[in-house]
Amino acid sequence: MRLAGPAILLLALGVGGCFGGAVGPELSPLAKHVRDLRDRGHRALGLGDVERAGATFEEARRLAESIDDRPGLAALLNDLGTIAGLKGDQSKAVQLHRRAVAVALELGDKRLTAAAISHLGQAAHLAGDATAALGHYQQALAFARELADRRGEAVVLNNVGLLQQARGELDQAEQSFQQALAINTDLRERRSMASNLSNLGSLMEARGRPAEARGRYEQALTLDKEVEDRAAIAADLANLGRLAEGANRLDEALGYYDRAYRGYRALNMTAKAADVLKRLIRVAKALGPDALAAEYEAELKALAAPPGKK
């Protein structure tokens, strides 16, 4: 997934906006500032700046607590749980999302509860607890349908599809991805459409249908460029490079991998940049001359060096 692995887990908050997107009463000036900070954090997250997003969400959380903004606090606990998950701390993510569920239930707010339960499913999903994740997703899906929340329904369907694919239930997974894509197409949610398409591409790869996979990845790349999702663009390019390499179209693979590497490097996504560099070295060695592989190896060495020695 763009968060962890080859497929794309969608977030209930942050990707595609708020789960439900309900319009509530007019906010006080400080509550508006909480919302503005959240929006700023989500913009940073959309640009791949996890550290800045986390700091902004934490500032908003402290402000929400200082004015006893309980709905804002529930949403921010989910945001901070997302950040913990992106940093690989799934235990902390689960803890934060459970706190969000408790606040939402205390408020009797079904939309907040649905969002928090969906997030809890995502944390369990990323932690590898498929049984718990599916249970949370089923609850969130029921809430979304009860509330006629199509955006939230699409998020959960996408993530259920990933679980189904991991269990080898490929027909069911394709159906879930297609249902999510249909909803997002109706809603013109281009960022989420791209995610659904990329997941369908991964599914087509698993089924040994590379031509269909390539078509899905190319569609995803087009949409990600339209919404300027830079991390997603790099991921799409890496997917296309992997397909080309698998088909022994090595010049094409080299081009895609190089573009993906430059994208990740520009975003300071060092781990992903290093992973793509390793693929570049492999392909460059297969193509020759050795000078190109040596150039990429030097870049990999520089990437791995301590900050003061780069």
DSSP 49-118: -HHHHHHHHHHHHHHHHHTT-HHHHHHHHHHHHHHHHHTT-HHHHHHHHHHHHHHHHHHT-HHHHHHHHH
Alpha carbon distance 47, 213 (integer Å): 26
CB 256 within 8 A of CB 240: yes
Q: Distances from the Cα of 252 to the Cαs of 47, 242, 248, 257, 297, in angstroms?
A: 27, 10, 9, 9, 20
Residues of the chain with pLDDT under 70: 1-25, 307-310
Q: How far is CA 48 from the centre of its chain?
A: 10
Q: What is the pLDDT of residue 94?
A: 94
Chain-centroid distance, C-alpha 51: 16
Q: What is the pLDDT of residue 223?
A: 98
Identify the sign of the CA torsion 296, 249, 6, 41: positive
Q: What confidence score (pLDDT) does residue 18 get?
A: 42
Q: What is the pLDDT of residue 113?
A: 94
As a whole number of angstroms, the distance between CA 25 and CA 16 comes to 22
Give the CATH class of 148-227.
mainly alpha
Of 137, 77, 142, 130, which Cα lies nearest the Cα of 103?
77
Cα Rg of the chain (Å, integer): 20
CA distances (Å), origin 5, targets 50, 134, 264 = 17, 19, 15
- Which pair of tokens denotes residue 263? 């994208």
Q: 1-14+27-147 — its CATH code?
A: 1.25.40.10
Q: Do the Cβ atoms of 245 and 261 come closer than 8 Å? A: no
Task: Write down the pTM of the prediction.
Answer: 0.84
Q: What pLDDT, on a 0 to 100 scale, did the predictor assign at position 45?
A: 87
The architecture that CATH gives domain 229-310 is: Alpha Horseshoe (1.25)
The ranges assigned to domains in the chain are 1-14+27-147, 148-227, 229-310
CA distances from 188 to 50, 68, 154 (A): 26, 35, 12
How many angstroms separate the CA atoms of 222 and 128, rounded? 31
Domain 1-14+27-147 matches domain 148-227 at the CATH topology level: yes
Please give the DSSP secondary-structure letter assigned to residue 306.
Answer: -
What integer pLDDT is reported at residue 48 of this predicted model?
Answer: 74
- Taking the CB of residue 43, how many other CB atoms lie within 10 A of it? 13
* Runs of H (alpha helix) within the chain: 29-46, 50-66, 70-86, 90-107, 110-126, 130-146, 150-166, 170-187, 190-206, 210-227, 230-246, 250-266, 270-287, 290-304
pLDDT at 308: 62
> What angle separates helix 90-107 from helix 110-126, to the nearest 10 degrees?
170
pLDDT of residue 290: 79
pLDDT at 4 (0 to 100): 32
Q: What's the confidence (pLDDT) of residue 291?
A: 84
